[in-house]
Amino acid sequence: MPTVRANDIDIAYRDQGSGDVPIVLLHGFPLDKRMWEAQAESLSGEFRVIAPDLRGHGESQVTPGPYTMELLADDLNAFLDALGLGQVTLGGFSMGGYVAFAFYRKHPERVANLLLLDTRPQPDSEEAKGGRETMAQLAESEGGAAIAERLVPRLLCADTVANCQDVVDCVTAMITECPVEGIAGDLRGMALRGDSSDLLPNISVPTLLVVGDQDVITPPAESQSMASIIPNAKLVEVSGAGHLSNLENPDAFTGAIRDFLS
């Protein structure tokens, strides 16, 4: 996979297909660009699909945390510059959605369409912030496997866990292989993030929201609420899917993006 220098780090990315307005997909915590395999394969017939590894993930450079959403948005802006890209369709999954909000606040002119994928605008509660720190320390003391053990049953719906071992294995591998500094950097960065709710009524680009109907991390009600506030929004609920709706029901998830963009 290619690598480019941006914001003083090496960023690895997947780049497939062609088209004037590329789709740029941001992965969630603590995953990497491999989560977009099915979407990149399917959508690259019609669009250019680019999926970077965020700082501290996959094959991108690891730096000490915390990784604030603003830092990751600055990385993205420099990444787009380095690739010579102007406007993009920006898709953010969960933590990637938090980064997409931070990016839209800073650079709305670069966003042609917004894809808010199993995400939410609210910041962490005080209790959730404490949980982030506990988890960061767990990652530092026991490694990514301990995080995967706790996270996988929440990321996937019960049916996926019981019947789709390939998806369980893929998600477990991404989390286990994520550098510990990346895991902790995300957690401490997410705990620091502000509220993006004020952005919602001011989002002026066509926006697609996708959420798994059994998502327990960013439940459908949160996407329904966002869709009622964002002026030009469409919401698709993916059936038979938890938080990782793109992996659990890829046909419905990818179909929603394709329909929206055509």
Strands 23-26 and 9-16 turn out to be unpaired
Question: Between residues 29 and 47, which has the closer beta carbon with respect to ligand MLT?
Answer: 29
For residue 95, give the H/E element and its range: helix 95-106
Minimum distance from CB of 243 to ligand MLT (Å)? 6
Site for ligand MLT in 150-209 (CB under 6 A): 190
Which residue from 94, 214, 245, 246 is in contact with ligand MLT, where contact means CB under 6 A?
94
Nearest to 131 by CA among 150, 156, 155, 153: 150
Minimum distance from CB of 94 to ligand MLT (Å)? 3
Question: Between residues 22 and 212, which has the closer beta carbon with respect to ligand MLT?
Answer: 212
In this structure, the number of other CB atoms found within 10 A of the CB of residue 123 comes to 17
116 binds ligand MLT (CB under 6 A): no
Question: Between residues 44 and 223, which has the closer beta carbon with respect to ligand MLT?
Answer: 223
Question: Between residues 133 and 259, which has the closer beta carbon with respect to ligand MLT?
Answer: 133
Residues 27, 211: Cα–Cα separation, whole Å: 15
In this structure, the number of other CB atoms found within 10 A of the CB of residue 3 comes to 15
Q: What mask, x for binding ligand MLT by CB under 6 A, covers residues 223 to 262?
A: --------------------x-------------------
Nearest to 54 by CA among 21, 99, 20, 89: 99
Residues 217, 220: Cα–Cα separation, whole Å: 9
Minimum distance from CB of 36 to ligand MLT (Å)? 13
Which residue from 90, 95, 157, 226 is in contact with ligand MLT, where contact means CB under 6 A?
95
How many residues touch ligand MLT under the rule CB under 6 A: the total is 7
- Phi first, then psi, for residue 238 (nearest 5°) are -90, 125
Q: Three-state SS across 247-261?
A: HHCHHHHHHHHHHHH
Minimum distance from CB of 96 to ligand MLT (Å)? 7
Minimum distance from CB of 190 to ligand MLT (Å)? 6
CB 247 within 8 A of CB 167: yes
Question: Between residues 187 and 252, which has the closer beta carbon with respect to ligand MLT?
Answer: 187
Site for ligand MLT in 203-222 (CB under 6 A): 217
Question: Between residues 123 and 240, which has the closer beta carbon with respect to ligand MLT?
Answer: 123
CB 23 within 8 A of CB 49: yes
Site for ligand MLT in 14-53 (CB under 6 A): 28-29
Tokens 């590329």: give the residue. 22
Question: Between residues 123 and 143, which has the closer beta carbon with respect to ligand MLT?
Answer: 123
Nearest to 99 by CA among 173, 168, 7: 7
Residues 122, 203: Cα–Cα separation, whole Å: 16
Q: Which spans of this chain sit near ligand MLT (rule: CB under 6 A)?
A: 28-29, 94-95, 190, 217, 243
